[in-house]
Structures are given as structure tokens and as C-alpha cells.
Amino acid sequence: MDGIVLAAVKGEMQQLLGCRITKIYQPAKRDIVVHCRRPGSNLAVILSADPQNARVFLTEDVPENPLSPPSFCMLLRKYLEGGKITAVEQPDLERILEIKVENFADSSELTTYRLIAEIMGRHSNIILVDAAGEVLDAVMRVDSRINRYREIIPGALYIPPPDQGKLSLLTLDWQPFLTRLAPASPEARLARLIQDNFTGVSPKVAAELVQRAGLDPDSLRRDVDQDRLRDLYQVLQKLGEKIKGGHFTPQIGLNTDGEPCGVSAIPLTSQFKATREFASMSRALETYYAHKLARHEMAGLQRNLIEVVDRHLNRLAKKIKSQEAELSEAEDADKYRIYGELLTANLYQLQKGMEAVTLENFYDPDLGKITIPLDLRLTPSENAQAYFRRYNKAKKTLVEGMYHYQRSLEEQRYLEQVRTSLDLAVDLSDLLDIQRELTEEGYIRPVKSRKSKDPRQGRPQPLRFRSSDGLEILVGRNNRQNEYVTFRAAGPDDIWLHVKDIPGSHVIIKAQGIEPPASTLEEAALLAAYYSKGRTGRNVAVDYTARRHVRKPRGAKPGMVIYDHYRTIFVSPVPEVVRPLLVRQINAAVRDET
């Protein structure tokens, strides 16, 4: 959020003049929401000093009001609620926005307060200052231990951030421009010179301005003569005139995947692959930061869920190793029975106190010798009985152990499926589905919510595609969606697909009882392979069968099924093959046909 973007926001916030502040709350540690009222409408402003997402704009999507207001929020309410906004100002093109509010002081006299948002990365802050310029408080206090030049604590005199000595685009003349750039280091990059010497210019804007002048942003100062500098000056001067006239083009830049990758108040045709324009700067910022914060929230939740699943997978790996050792020992049960029977048949040869005995093994076709360890403390008969007891225990252990071992393997397969689903998640709703599933399965504790309606309770939304033959293909990206597409959205004669023996998505071809064309079958198999742990492989085996041949075993975990009457197709989900399929995704909700 550079100074030019903030200038566009400042222009839009002039509609706040004369508004009364009706409510203030603090939805996050460094976020403030100010509700304003004017005849016929309500407006809301969000001010954030988040170090990664500092921002200010008019908002339509108001965050939820927390139950307990922090102390800074209470102070803002004391001094600002009921007050009238008299000015919204930005010093030059600095990343500073001041909202001036006229309200009654404790002495019942009318006075002016300044709510100042400093949008400066990790140094961002929101500060309340009184008419005498004294800091009443700030969302982030800064004492002399952090900054001896500029304390921001209650009682301190408010000092603006240090002037960096940059030139203003709003009052730019040729001679100051030339004086500043002509003596610059010959090795200095042109775009960096623009960024470092002009207020409000971000790296992307600097690169754009240089390219508008017909120059390469990586050009060095030594390679640019005075005529080319004049071309650059005219580009900057023209931009300054547009800013002064309030002529902005709010837009979000999109990357090759269509994802927002930046926001700007002017066209950045050289910086963005594609753009999406908006009627207001505030709406562009709200859309951009909603996406950015959702991705941030998604990344955090994804990390947490992966940590939970990996922890349980590591526990299971140790448990399975122990169970395999126990089963290996239990598989020697017949050895203990033979020991017992050989000892019983040769009791006359044994005496108490023997450490071992070597006997002829009549179970061996060659009647070979076998050495049997003995317990010195037991009689020969007691040694035989001890081996019979070990035999009976081993048989029982083998039966019970095999049951628990199979359960452990099933749980391991389930968690590996969940782990793959986490890797394949593309939005927050996917992760919320998985979080809900892990909560229901007891892997994480339930999280209490004050909301009356949990959005995770909604119908699963698997991916939908249209094949080249016009048939619909459904793809579940997690176990909740897998269950939905297989057992609710699919009919018995639809075609079900899944990668063979590895975690992956359930895929349904809505065939409606007809044999799908080979091209549709291959496309569905490619999607099944792409949305699986085998997405980077070649010749991935994908099984397919009619949905009626797919069953969920009693007591099985979500997404775990067995199937028969299947055939196998081999596909390679390489990007150049899958990409044409992905563009045929349908965004509408799946219809529940059962």
C-alpha cells in the first residue's frame, strides 16, 4: 500500500466529512474499525497496523465485533465516539493518513483529536493525538528503548516520522528533478533512483514509470542522457497531475493462475500479467486483502493440520513397528508347542537345574537334534508346561495382535489420505472440511465458536468439470467431499474412479447409465491421478467401476471404501495434459441427487 494508493483512499474518504462516529471496535490486535453515520447512510473504515498487511480503506465487509474490547479500543471510544469527522488528510504522498475528529473533551469544551494511521510495514501504527499534539495512546507503544528519537507513548509529544528528503510528484519541476538525478551514482539502477527519490512510489510503480518513458528499469544512470531524463520527468509530472486531479485507476494485478498478486491505484501494464479493475480504491483493497488474509489464514491452518496429522502418523509408525515385532514373535507359537511336547516325551532324561537340553526332534523328517533352553528354577514338567502356556499365549496374541495390527494399518492409510488432502487443498473451505473431520474423529479438540452458525456445517463443495464429450465429472478433494460425491451425488450406474493403492480423490463420471466415451474416461482418470499423491508420476494406475460396486465397510473412517468389478487405466497427469482439463472447471454447486 504505497503513497499513491493511500492518496486514492484519502480522496474516497472525503465522503466521511461531517459524519458522526457511532461505534469503534478492535477485531484484532492491530486492527481498528470505525463506524460512521451521516444522513441516509452508514460508512465503515478499517485501519490496520498489521506488520504484513497494514492498510486503511472504506470497508463493506465489516469484521466481527469481539466480546471484550481491548484498552486501546476503550480509549478510542471515550474520545472519538459521538464526534464529527472534520478532515481526512495525507501529508504529501506519505503513507500517513490523519482523520481529524471534533468532539467534547472531559472539560466539556469542543476540541479536535487526530487519529493517525502510519502505514509503514513492521513500523506501522495507529495513534490517537489530542489538540496539543500529545499522544493519548497507540495500538503499538514505542518507548525510548526502541526509538530514542520518536517515543509513541501516552504523554509524549507526537513527532511525525522523519522526513526522508524525497521530492513530491505533486509539485515536481524540471530543475529539482534534474538536480536530484543528474549527479546520482553512474552505477545506480534507474527504477531504484525513482523509488528512493520520490515520495509515495513503490518498486512496482517505479519500474512502470521507467518503462513508460521507454527505458529499461534495470538501466543504469550512466546509460541515460539528459534527453531521456526529460522523457522520464514528463512521465512523473503527468502522474503527479493525475494524482492531484484525483484520476485513479484502482486495480488488482493477477498472476498466470488468475490469483491476486498486487494492488495499484494506477495501471501497471508492465508489471501484471492481467488485471481486474474496480470502481473504487477501497473496494480493490478490500478484495485484495480479503484474498491475501484468507491465503495467510489458510497457510496457518494448513501448517497446523499437517503438524497434527504428521504427529499421529509418526506415533502410528512406532506402534506398527512394535506390533510387527510382537506378531513376529507370536508366529513362533509352534516352536513353543514342539518344545513342550519334546520335553514331555523326554521327562525321564531331564533333571531340575539344567540350563538346556538337546533332544531328537521327532517332528523333523530327518530326526535332527534340537536344543531347548530350560529355566533352572523349574522342574522338567514345569518347564514343559511353561512352554505350553507360552504357546497358548502366542496363539491368542497372534489373533488379537493381527486384529490391532490391521486396525493400525487402516488408520495409517486413513491419515495418509488426510495428509494428501491437505497437500491438495486449494482454499480455506477445503481445510475447514478437513479440520471438522479430524475433530469428529478425535484427532483434535473441538474449537468453541461464538457464531451461531458454523460455516463448516454446509454441504461439501467438490470440484466439478465438464468433459470434452459434455459429461459432468465430480472430484472430491478431501474425505468429506469424497463421501459426498460417492454416496450422495453419484447414482448407482455412474462411474467411480480412484488411483490404485495410493491416497487420492474419489472421482465420479455422471454417466447416467451409459458407457462413457473413452475420451471422458481418460480425462476423469487424469483428474483422479492429478488430485492424488501420484500427481507427479507417470503411468499412474487408476481403477474404475460402476458406483454400485463401491462399498464402505462397517466402522470404516471417512473416505475409506472397498470396491470390486473394476478395470484399470494408466495415465500420466503431466501439466500440459491436465491444464486443458482444469480450465473446464464448473463453479456451481453440486446438486444432491439422492
Per-residue pLDDT tens over the stretch 429-478: 889 889 999 999 999 988 665 444 444 456 788 999 999 999 999 999 89
Choose between 591 and 403: higher pLDDT: 403
CATH code for residues 169-277: 1.10.8
Whether 295 has a pLDDT exceeding 50, the answer reads: yes
pLDDT value of residue 456: 44
Query: How many Å apart are CA 137 and CA 124, to the nearest integer?
Result: 14
Beta-carbon count within 10 A of 274 CB:
12
Mean pLDDT of the chain: 90
Whether 505 has a pLDDT exceeding 80, the answer reads: yes
C-alpha cell at position 80: 472519538
pLDDT value of residue 447: 67
pLDDT value of residue 386: 93
Among 155-169, 213-227, 455-469, 566-580, the least confident range: 455-469
Alpha-carbon distance values, 352 to 339, 348, 361, 459 (Å): 16, 11, 21, 73
- SS3 call for 372: strand
pLDDT value of residue 40: 84
pLDDT value of residue 587: 60
Enclosing H/E stretch for 360: strand 356-360
Q: Is 432 exposed, middle or buried (0-12, 13-18, 19+ CB in 10 A)?
A: buried
Among 163-172, 277-286, 395-404, the least confident range: 395-404
C-alpha cell at position 389: 502356556
pLDDT value of residue 43: 95
The answer to whether residues 149 and 162 touch, using CB atoms and an 8 Å cutoff, is yes
pLDDT value of residue 590: 43
pLDDT in tens, 370-392: 999 999 889 999 999 999 998 88
Q: Which residue has the cell 502410528?
A: 316
Indicate the residue type of 320.
I
- What is the dihedral angle through the alpha carbons of 447, 451, 456, 457, rounded to the nearest 10 degrees? 110
pLDDT value of residue 458: 64
Q: Which residue has the cell 530350560?
A: 374
Which range has the top average pLDDT, 94-98, 182-186, 258-262, 583-587?
Answer: 94-98
pLDDT value of residue 452: 41
- What is the dihedral angle through the alpha carbons of 165, 170, 174, 178, rounded to the nearest 10 degrees? 30
Going by C-alpha positions, the residue among 107, 109, 90 that lies closest to residue 98 is 90
pLDDT value of residue 264: 96
Cross-strand pairs, 274: 254
Beta-strand ranges (E) seen in 6-104 are: 20-28, 31-38, 41-48, 55-58, 84-89, 96-104
Q: Mean pLDDT across the stretch 551-568? A: 93
pLDDT value of residue 445: 87
Whether 592 has a pLDDT exceeding 70, the answer reads: no
The answer to whether residues 99 and 113 touch, using CB atoms and an 8 Å cutoff, is no
C-alpha cell at position 373: 533352553
- SS3 call for 206: helix
Q: Mean pLDDT across the stretch 262-284? A: 93
> How would you classify the pairing of strands 540-546 and 507-509?
unpaired
> How would you classify the pairing of strands 540-546 and 41-48?
unpaired
Listing DSSP states for 215-264 in one string gives: --TT-BGGG--HHHHHHHHHHHHHHHHHHHTT----EEEE-TTS-EEEEE
Q: Which CATH architecture has domain 3-138?
A: Roll (2.30)
Indicate the residue type of 566.
Y
Q: Mean pLDDT across the stretch 509-523? A: 91
**Strand ranges across the sheet with 41-48:** 55-58, 41-48, 31-38, 20-28, 84-89, 96-104, 110-118, 125-129, 135-138
The answer to whether residues 100 and 123 touch, using CB atoms and an 8 Å cutoff, is no
Among 96-105, 413-422, 440-449, the least confident range: 440-449
The answer to whether residues 507 and 574 touch, using CB atoms and an 8 Å cutoff, is no
User: Where along the chain do its domains lie?
Assistant: 3-138, 169-277, 304-447, 460-586
pTM: 0.74
Whether 91 has a pLDDT exceeding 90, the answer reads: yes
107 contacts: CB under 8 Å, gap ≥ 6: none
